[in-house]
Amino acid sequence: MRIFWILLKKELHSFFVSPVAYVVLALVMVLNGFAFRAALSVLENAPSEGSIVSWTFHAMWFWLSYFFIFPLLTMRLFAEEKKMGTLETLFTAPVRAWQVVGSKYLAAVIVYCVLWLPSLINFKFAHWISAGQVELPSGAMGGAYLILVVMGMFNLAIGCFASSLTSNQIVAAIISFTLSLLHFLLGIFIMVVGRKISDTIVDIVNYFAATEHIRIFTAGLIDSRPIFYYLSMALLFLSFTHHVVEFRRWRP
Amino acid sequence: MIDVQELTKQYAGRTAVNNISFQVEPGEIVGFLGPNGAGKSTTMRILSGYMPATSGRANVAGFDVFHQSIQVRQSVGYMPEMAPLYTDMRVKEYLRFRAELKGLSGMAMRRRIGEVMELTGVTDMRKRLIGNLSKGYRQRVALADALVHKPKLLILDEPTNGLDPVQIRHVRDLLRSLKSKHTVLLSTHILHEVEQTCDRVIMIHQGRIRANDTPANLTRQLRSTTLLHLEIDGIGNLVERLSAIAAVRKTTEDPLLVHPWRRFTLRVEPDHDIRDEVMELAMQQKWRIREMHRQLPTLEDVFVELSMNAGTPTDIPTHVL
């Protein structure tokens, strides 16, 4: 466990000494600002069912940031070390593969969580400046941030896996972007095809669809199934990553 | 300290290390010598626990490299080729990170980091970003990292690669001073270095061990062949004519400088001096000679010889010698 913390510290360090974390943070803040602004204008025009929280996370801007975050945060993790050859130095120190994979992943998750902190300020500020007229239902807030974190954990695990496959960061970014996009498109598929197909299929696809999860959770409905789904998928991809990293140690 | 038995490593369809066996005793400095792609790095990676062998067995400090990998890595200080480092860290910060990973902590760690920085001469660079260091300093930082946990065995893959002569001498002195505390296995393709530093040389070529002896013994063994360098201006099949001299083992024509001069290297049987015979032949054939130079063998020649005996002299890039 001690080794794990040392590695985690080092990973966080390399996130914050490189410009990556700050660039992504800036990008997310800008896009979030737009999303927040879009949500405000919806509420401004007409009385609405949804809270400001749910409108913010339904904005196109939010989804735009959603796609850039994961490849940018994870592409470095293994690809850079492979390219620089430092993976060899790392694995000839007495460390185990799970410690390396786990620490890199957890560092990415921590940075990811930090990215969403400024959006909290947006909400609090709107609530304060409107003297409480902009409501912040605790269910919606809790649900939104909970699903954001577990969705992030899932996508970051995909990114980790993508990065372990190659020594080229761009390739890693493209793989993780594609996988995340395919997952997102499940929801869009339902929106496009709509009611033309049987309800069973719609239900099944909705079970996997990120857009649907966001819709439910930002409405304040906390459903354990998506949480379980994302966390188990994250674990699956992390175990893939572990296998890829350990592959060199396999014996025929 | 090291016990390797019938070790083989195959990469997809290619055999990098072919059934090698050797031992290294505690306190020895052993040089791994061979051209690029001979299997030196592969063997060292297996010994340092980075990757497993396809077959065979290797024990380091009493631990099996595959089954007790963590213990092996605990007792080995490994410096990979090209000295890969995290370029976004500062020297001291990096050494601290590595020392912590290898189980050091507190005052003992701080003292040890100071020691190895002093030993390798990077104390003045401790606050510099590794990315901004020159190749020589990076190499030293990597060496400091290998030393930091006082490993029983040091495995250094081309430790002097890319250093200038002064730095090379520094590293050589350092290695010799470490001898009392560590066993050292180092690889190189520079023969001079092995002659200077090592107690024993293991020559490896195309994944097989070609020789395993002290540098002095190897040179003595091959005292046999002397070399004769010639520059001749003559017409006809000179190689054939020269080879016809009794004691000549092999004649090679080197690519030449300026027409009409041609350059030859003759490998001559032990204890024969054929300079007179060459001279006579030249006079008889009306060749002009502008250089004749006899060269006693160095370890380098031993190496070429051994590689040639392997049957494929052409695939050894000349620049490695």
Quick: pLDDT tens for B224-250: 567 888 888 887 787 888 888 878 878
Return d(Cα B46, Cα B269) in angstroms, integer: 40
**H or E segment to which residue A241 belongs:** helix A224-246
Q: Determine the residue type at B117.
A: M
CB contacts, 8 Å: B78 with chain A:
89, 92
A176: exposed, middle or buried (Cβ count in 10 Å: 0-12, 13-18, 19+): buried
Task: Give the CA angle between residues A142, A144, A149 to the nearest 5°.
Answer: 95
Torsion angle, CA of A36/A42/A48/A50, rounded to 10 degrees? -30
Q: Which of B24, B101, B30, B33 is nearest to B59 (CA)?
A: B24
CB contacts, 8 Å: B84 with chain A:
84-86, 88-89
Instruction: Answer whether residue B103 shows pLDDT above 50.
Output: yes
CA distance A90 to chain B (A): 9
Sheet containing B288-295, strands listed edge to edge, beginning at the edge strand earlier in sequence:
B248-254, B262-268, B226-233, B288-295
Average pLDDT over residues B104-112: 92
Q: Do A52 and A132 meet the contact criterion of CB atoms below 8 Å apart?
A: no
Q: How many residue pairs from chains A and B have C-beta atoms closer than 8 A?
A: 65
pLDDT band, very low/low/confident/very high, at A78 (cuts 50, 70, 90) = very high
Q: Determine the residue type at A41.
A: S
DSSP-assigned states of every residue in A202-219: HHHHHHH-HHHHHHHHHT
DSSP B105: -
- First-residue to last-residue Cα distance in chain A: 30
Quick: pLDDT tens for B188-224: 877 777 777 888 988 888 888 888 888 877 776 665 5
CB contacts, 8 Å: A83 with chain B:
none
Q: Do the chains contact at B88 and A17, CB–CB below 8 Å? A: yes
pLDDT band, very low/low/confident/very high, at B321 (cuts 50, 70, 90) = very low
CA distance A25 to chain B (A): 20
Residue of A nearest to B86 (CA): A86
A248 φ/ψ angles, rounded to the nearest 5 degrees:
-65, -20
Alpha-carbon distance values, A107 to A12, A32, A156, B167 (Å) = 6, 22, 10, 39
**Considering only A198-202, B134-138, B295-299, which range has the smallest mean pLDDT?**
B295-299
Return d(Cα B194, Cα B183) in angstroms, integer: 15
Residue of A nearest to B67 (CA): A249
Quick: pLDDT tens for B20-41: 999 999 988 998 888 777 888 8
**Which among B51, B74, B101 has CB closest to A248?**
B51
pLDDT band, very low/low/confident/very high, at B257 (cuts 50, 70, 90) = low
Task: Give the CA angle between residues B112, A12, A181 to the nearest 5°.
Answer: 145
Instruction: Answer whether residue B5 shows pLDDT above 80.
Output: yes
CB contacts, 8 Å: A94 with chain B:
70-71, 73-74, 101-103
Return d(Cα A93, Cα B296) in angstroms, integer: 45
- First-residue to last-residue Cα distance in chain B: 30
Its ipTM equals 0.86
Quick: pLDDT tens for A28-70: 999 989 988 888 888 877 777 778 888 888 888 888 888 889 9
Quick: pLDDT tens for B51-61: 888 888 899 98
Return d(Cα B155, Cα B47) in angstroms, integer: 8
Residues in chain A: 252
Alpha helices per DSSP H over chain B: 40-47, 69-75, 91-101, 106-120, 135-147, 165-178, 191-197, 215-221, 238-243, 275-285, 299-309
